[in-house]
Chains A and B, each alone.
Chain A
Amino acid sequence: GQSLEQPSEVTAVEGAIVQINCTYQTSGFYGLSWYQQHDGGAPTFLSYNALDGLEETGRFSSFLSRSDSYGYLLLQELQMKDSASYFCAVRYNFNKFYFGSGTKLNVKP
């Protein structure tokens, strides 16, 4: 089966940097995605890593280590609007996805 672990909640202050970790166990691994979901909203795609290393998209970066079955999402220069839930999701067996339980990020002034 598949399993994902990510922290349930993280709190940080505006302007700070926060890292949300994700460890996974799966067979047929293809890659790791990250999604953002505001309360009452739909998940929004942030990034996808298929290969080891860091992918940067503006204030957000995502990292993957396939050998460690580990990834993280890095959010820099935090803004109040970044308060949301963040989900990691493994893509496996080509067209299947398994999502984590999500990390609720609270950004305080």
Chain B
Amino acid sequence: ETGVTQTPRHLVMGMTNKKSLKCEQHLGHNAMYWYKQSAKKPLELMFVYSLEERVENNSVPSRFSPECPNSSHLFLHLHTLQPEDSALYLCASSQESSINEQFFGPGTRLTVL
């Protein structure tokens, strides 16, 4: 148990669907992250929320939209995705003062048809 939970664990969606991924951390952290992990590719940082400030990777398409309503919850809203967006989406959290030590959730395995 890592203290970071993600739902759903598996998601299959069509290209015209809208869905959301949810992440919740129970560690009292104040920074949260979304990562994308594709087969045979490096883990890619998508978004960072740190002290309610959002930092984004400029290469992430606008069809991915994050939301962080408080320091414990993080969402990733998905719309009009492409098949190449199929991947494992990992959420992580850390203390803002110790962002080098991140705690990861189990991930959501997303398949876009």
**B-contacting residues of A (Cβ < 8 Å)?**
4, 30-31, 33, 41-45, 48, 50, 87, 89, 91, 95-102
Contact = CB atoms under 8 A, between A and B. Distances in A.
17 contacts: A31-B100, A41-B106, A42-B104, A42-B106, A43-B43, A43-B104, A48-B101, A50-B100, A95-B31, A95-B55, A96-B48, A97-B45, A98-B42, A98-B45, A99-B44, A102-B42, A102-B43
A95 B100 CA distance: 9
By DSSP majority rule, is chain A's interface helix, strand, loop, or mixed?
strand
B57 to A, nearest CB: 8
B41 A33 contact: no
B106 A95 contact: no
Say which size band chain B's interface belongs to: 20 to 34
Given A45-B102, A91-B100, 10 more contacts: A42-B106, A42-B107, A43-B92, A43-B104, A44-B104, A45-B101, A50-B100, A96-B48, A99-B45, A102-B43
A42 B101 contact: no
A45 B103 contact: yes
Interface of B: 2, 4, 31, 40-45, 48, 50, 55, 90, 92, 99-107
B43 A89 contact: yes
Nearest to A97: B45
Contacts of B43: 43, 87, 89, 99, 102
A44 B2 CA distance: 9
A84 to B, nearest CB: 14
A4 B42 contact: yes
5 smallest CB-CB distances across A and B, nearest first, come from: A99-B43, A42-B104, A48-B100, A99-B42, A101-B42
Contacts of A41: 106
Contact of B99 (A4, A44, A91, A100): A91
A33 B100 contact: yes
B2 A42 contact: yes
